[in-house]
Structure 1
Amino acid sequence: MTDLHYLSAHELLEAYRTMALSPVEVLDAVEARADAVEPAVNALSDRLQERARAAAVEAEARYAGRGGGEPRPLEGIPVAVKEEQPIAGLPLRLGSLLTDDTPSPVTHPVVERVLAAGGVVHARATTPEYSCAAFTQSALWGVTRNPWNLGYGPGGSSGGSGAALAAGTTILATGSDIGGSIRLPASLCGVVGFKPPYARVPGIPPFNLDTYCHDGPMARTVADTALLQNLIAGAHPVDPVSLPATRPVVPDAAKARGLKVAFAVTIGDFPIDPDVAANTRALADSLRSAGIKVEEVAIPITQETVFTAALIHYGAIFGPMITELGDDDRLSRYARRFADRAGQALAAHGFFKGLSMEADIQQALADVFADYDAIICPTLGSAGFLADDDYVDHGVTVDGTYLDFYLSAALTPVFNVASRHPVLNIPTGRAANGVPTGAQIVGRAYDDATPFHIGATAEEIHRWWADPVWRPDLTGKAI
């Protein structure tokens, strides 16, 4: 069996059960892949090889019946954890020179549950400083690059997770999302990522109380993403607002047939590059051919409303975390600029104005969901962000429209404002620059299953990672 590092978690679990493969063999394959491509991609901030090998050996023993109990749901599956999610005994650097190697006293609930399920946490994935950018670079870890085109970034802030999945240096990964930080890397790396509805997956204080914040799963397939989501969801004592576990989601294309889906090639006045628009339309057409009722709609939410509301929110919560670090010249330009921009929005408009704008966004979506089971729209209007650019001194041009703030190219913050909606990113194709494009499948509030059923339908048609053609070519590439 070749390319073990690109097998799905479901394929590996079946191979483990039949003893066709062993967890140690697969870990070796993933580690060998990382040895080969990490110098170019730079997606892993830490490689936890010693503890990962011990976990893989234990998993192998469980499958062989040599003690340790029955195999658990993720037994022996390599998982890369977003470095922002702490692990007790390991430093929590947050991509910043302002932090040090003091061991964390706590483990994030998501990581705790991955470990309890038998996942082999073999690496931690890179982030931008304090996870406050939609690209992934920092003075601490350097530049993380997109395996599909090394001149471009993998998105952020879960960019290391997305790049590792695309490069084949992990099987599953975790992420977090405050403005698109799961969905943007998933889109740009051609993988799958799920932003759960608020409080579905437990977080840690104080950001567990921020309704924009979501921890969630990333993988190469819809089924693997659901597998990880089912294991990390549910109430946890460290997060008093986390919701009780619900029935596990099992993606089923048959359950998508007959659903009524609103297709929006954009939201409001967000500009969309032609390649992104064409690939999103092609997805809508393929879903129609599979028996889903897809109708094009207009969603009257303006870019100005979304980003004014979001920046006010960030200015009240996320921005102060950065400004409290003080006037330290080790803080990156992009982190400082983000805090300044958010603080200015809050000062100019006030928090109540932001809430009023959020209410308008929520109502516009509610009007669509009165008639439809789901919404499909692009994840990012642009065909990607350059890897070596911090986008402080300029914005981006999307389909001929110049946007002062590069993040304005993302359609993701709409659903951090409307945080109770589950959103699944799936691939839609690739742009002319070779960088993948993605679409958001948005469900009604707390209806997690519907996006997965629709995603399973699309995956059944397009195959993506089941097709060896859908692989980034990293042969001989280096920076």
Structure 2
Amino acid sequence: MDLFRITATRAAEMFRRRELSPIDLLEAVIARTAVTEPVINAVTEQWLDEARAAAVVSQERIAAGEPLRPLEGIPLMLKEEQPITGHLQEEGCLLEQGHVATETHPIVDRIIDAGAVVHGRTTTPEYCCAPVTHTKLWGVTRNPWNTDLAPGGSSGGAGAVLAAGSTVLATGSDIGGSIRIPSSFCGVVGFKPPFGRVPGLAPFNSDTYCADGPMGRSVADVALLQDVISGPWVGDAASLRDSAHVAGVVRSLEGVRVALCPDLGGYDVDPAVEANTRAVAAALKDAGAVVEQVDLPWGPQRVLDTAWPHFGAIMGPFIEEVLHGDPTRADQLMPYTRAFAAAASSAGDHVQGLVAESAFYRPFAELMTDHDVLLCPTIATTGFAADEPGTDTRAVFDKLMTLPFNVIGRVPVLAVPSGIAPNGVPTGVQIVGRTYDDATVFGVGAALEQELGLWTDPSWWPTIAGVTDGAAR
């Protein structure tokens, strides 16, 4: 067995039965990272001494028969955007090079307290404002399935290390699809929690579009991490007081009502993406669900008209603040960052945007009075070039079928693979629930995972050119 392909839930079971040591699992992913990183370039830094010490602690707890913490001994990488006191927080930007964080993101504390073995941090695009992952600071991060193409973004490094076998769990964040896009392109599972479910730091903890969330190799893995990071936090007034337990337990889909919307009202969906989406719908039907194709009055133009005023009020000013009033500093920004800021600054009135967001939500809410989940593609295309400039924001955003569910940010969205495109890159679907109905999307996702048998099959994972799959068994 290739240990670097193991799921977190299976590793936890093997730890409990004393069939696997956290130390051996950590060494397997460290060895795998050593051979994949020269090709994939998805890791900003590794903390090997600290990780090895944490693995020893976990091994000692297991040997002593002590109660095991939820993530005991599981190797995990953190998205670099999530700060840790005393460690670098560079945001992929030359202007931030060498910057050291003075606060720690609450989910990092929860992950460490839960016993995870944190052994590295993953790449992002500059300031997380692109669906591809390349920067002047860190270089180009590549998709393990096809290294000419991007792993997505902004949690592109997280998706890439999971697909490459360089870690077992990873964290991401999502303001326009940043968890779900790399989950789709990298063939892994990711969850965009509803607003307030997972605590965050100012200013984005108050942004209804934004959420930190889990990524992993199975629905159960993602549920395991989600339960650790969710729940109220004293530093975030927006964090919900009620916690919502989720699980990757397979349940019957008899009578579950699925609304299938292949184009979300007008996205130009690649035929391979649509075919794989319909295959997922058929699998859900075979599992007992009632599937009905529906329409939504959305489409990319309405999505952008609704979302840009929001970005103009939050992300645009954030990027402008980075410049400190000195326009010459803009030369050190990535072209896609400048393009995003320009598009955001020319957006419409924020108040009118809030009215548009409410109107945007209404048809979805009406649809969901008669359905339990909505099923649709994650991305309309089968890939972006690894070094895609991203300066034509309209051309890029027209492909992102994730953004509508940031506009209505209180809905939970589970992203799972749907198949493989002709270019060798995975495709994905989104399972979208009613507001704050997290449990249902996980239940549907777990049943689909069992029915399809795709990403949990040992043959699913990519063969990386120049990397021996048998390394670090």
The yes-or-no answer on 1:115 pairing with 2:115 is: no
- Contact in 2 for aligned 1:256/1:450 (Cα 8 Å): no
- Contact in 2 for aligned 1:144/1:159 (Cα 8 Å): yes
Deviation for aligned residue 1:121: 0.6
Q: Provide the residue aligned with 1:188 in structure 2.
A: 185
- Contact in 1 for aligned 2:265/2:298 (Cα 8 Å): yes
- Contact in 1 for aligned 2:42/2:157 (Cα 8 Å): yes
Deviation for aligned residue 1:303: 1.6
Any idea what SS the aligned residue of 1:355 has?
A: helix
- Contact in 2 for aligned 1:301/1:364 (Cα 8 Å): no
Q: Provide the residue aligned with 2:440 in structure 1.
A: 450
Q: Provide the residue aligned with 2:366 in structure 1.
A: 367
CA distance in 1, matches of 2:456, 2:190: 17
The yes-or-no answer on 1:464 pairing with 2:454 is: yes
CA distance in 2, matches of 1:138, 1:84: 14
Any idea what SS the aligned residue of 1:360 has?
A: helix
CA distance in 2, matches of 1:352, 1:244: 28
Match for 2:414 among 398, 421, 424?
Answer: 424
Match for 1:437 among 427, 441, 448?
Answer: 427
Quick one: which amino acid aligns to residue 287 of structure 1? L
- Per-residue CA distance 1:405-456 (angstroms, 9 max, x = gap): 3122011110001011000001000111011000000000000011111111
Gaps of 5+ in 1: 396-403
Deviation for aligned residue 1:103: 2.6
Q: 1:465 to 1:343 in 2, by over 3 A?
A: same
Match for 2:203 among 203, 206, 224?
Answer: 206
Deviation for aligned residue 1:256: 2.9
- Per-residue CA distance 1:231-268 (angstroms, 9 max, x = gap): 10000111111012424212333243311110011101
TM-score by length of 1: 0.95
CA distance in 2, matches of 1:149, 1:204: 35
CA distance in 1, matches of 2:455, 2:209: 30
Q: Provide the residue aligned with 2:342 in structure 1.
A: 340
The yes-or-no answer on 1:167 pairing with 2:164 is: yes
Quick one: which amino acid aligns to residue 346 of structure 2? Q
Aligned length: 463
Q: Provide the residue aligned with 1:400 in structure 2.
A: none
CA distance in 1, matches of 2:149, 2:465: 17
- Contact in 2 for aligned 1:74/1:114 (Cα 8 Å): yes
Quick one: which amino acid aligns to residue 428 of structure 2? G
Identity of aligned residues (%): 49
CA distance in 2, matches of 1:257, 1:133: 40
Deviation for aligned residue 1:305: 1.4
CA distance in 2, matches of 1:438, 1:360: 27
Quick one: which amino acid aligns to residue 427 of structure 1? P
Any idea what SS the aligned residue of 1:256 has?
A: coil
Quick one: which amino acid aligns to residue 16 of structure 1? F
Q: Provide the residue aligned with 2:152 in structure 1.
A: 155
The yes-or-no answer on 1:91 pairing with 2:88 is: yes
- Contact in 1 for aligned 2:197/2:243 (Cα 8 Å): no
Quick one: which amino acid aligns to residue 338 of structure 2? R
CA distance in 1, matches of 2:86, 2:132: 28
- Contact in 1 for aligned 2:132/2:387 (Cα 8 Å): no
Q: 1:205 to 1:344 in 2, by over 3 A?
A: same
Q: 1:221 to 1:292 in 2, by over 3 A?
A: same
The yes-or-no answer on 1:25 pairing with 2:15 is: no
Deviation for aligned residue 1:144: 0.5
Q: Provide the residue aligned with 2:2 in structure 1.
A: 3
Quick one: which amino acid aligns to residue 437 of structure 2? D
Deviation for aligned residue 1:300: 1.2
Q: Provide the residue aligned with 1:399 in structure 2.
A: none
Q: Provide the residue aligned with 2:350 in structure 1.
A: 351
Any idea what SS the aligned residue of 2:239 has?
A: coil
Any idea what SS the aligned residue of 2:258 has?
A: strand
Quick one: which amino acid aligns to residue 360 of structure 2? I
Gaps of 5+ in 2: 469-473
Deviation for aligned residue 1:205: 1.0
The yes-or-no answer on 1:282 pairing with 2:293 is: no
- Contact in 1 for aligned 2:221/2:248 (Cα 8 Å): no
Aligned 1:340-419 pairs, distance under 5 A: 340-345=342-347, 349-392=348-391, 394=392, 404-419=394-409
Structural RMSD (CA): 1.3
Any idea what SS the aligned residue of 2:455 has?
A: helix
TM-score by length of 2: 0.96
Deviation for aligned residue 1:216: 0.4
- Contact in 2 for aligned 1:84/1:92 (Cα 8 Å): yes
Quick one: which amino acid aligns to residue 297 of structure 1? V
Deviation for aligned residue 1:302: 2.8
Q: Provide the residue aligned with 2:471 in structure 1.
A: none
Deviation for aligned residue 1:26: 0.3
CA distance in 2, matches of 1:39, 1:267: 39
Any idea what SS the aligned residue of 2:95 has?
A: coil
CA distance in 2, matches of 1:472, 1:441: 24
Any idea what SS the aligned residue of 1:440 has?
A: strand
- Contact in 1 for aligned 2:420/2:427 (Cα 8 Å): yes
Quick one: which amino acid aligns to residue 141 of structure 2? T
Deviation for aligned residue 1:316: 0.6
- Contact in 1 for aligned 2:220/2:249 (Cα 8 Å): no
- Per-residue CA distance 1:59-86 (angstroms, 9 max, x = gap): 11110118xx532110100011000001
CA distance in 2, matches of 1:83, 1:255: 38
Deviates more, 1:322-331 or 1:35-44: 322-331
CA distance in 2, matches of 1:168, 1:135: 20
Quick one: which amino acid aligns to residue 385 of structure 1? F
CA distance in 2, matches of 1:434, 1:161: 19
- Contact in 1 for aligned 2:197/2:239 (Cα 8 Å): yes
Deviation for aligned residue 1:105: 1.8
CA distance in 1, matches of 2:105, 2:204: 12
Deviation for aligned residue 1:477: 5.5
CA distance in 1, matches of 2:450, 2:283: 10
Any idea what SS the aligned residue of 1:218 has?
A: strand
CA distance in 2, matches of 1:171, 1:238: 29
CA distance in 1, matches of 2:110, 2:408: 27
The yes-or-no answer on 1:226 pairing with 2:223 is: yes
Q: Provide the residue aligned with 1:330 in structure 2.
A: 332
Any idea what SS the aligned residue of 2:322 has?
A: coil
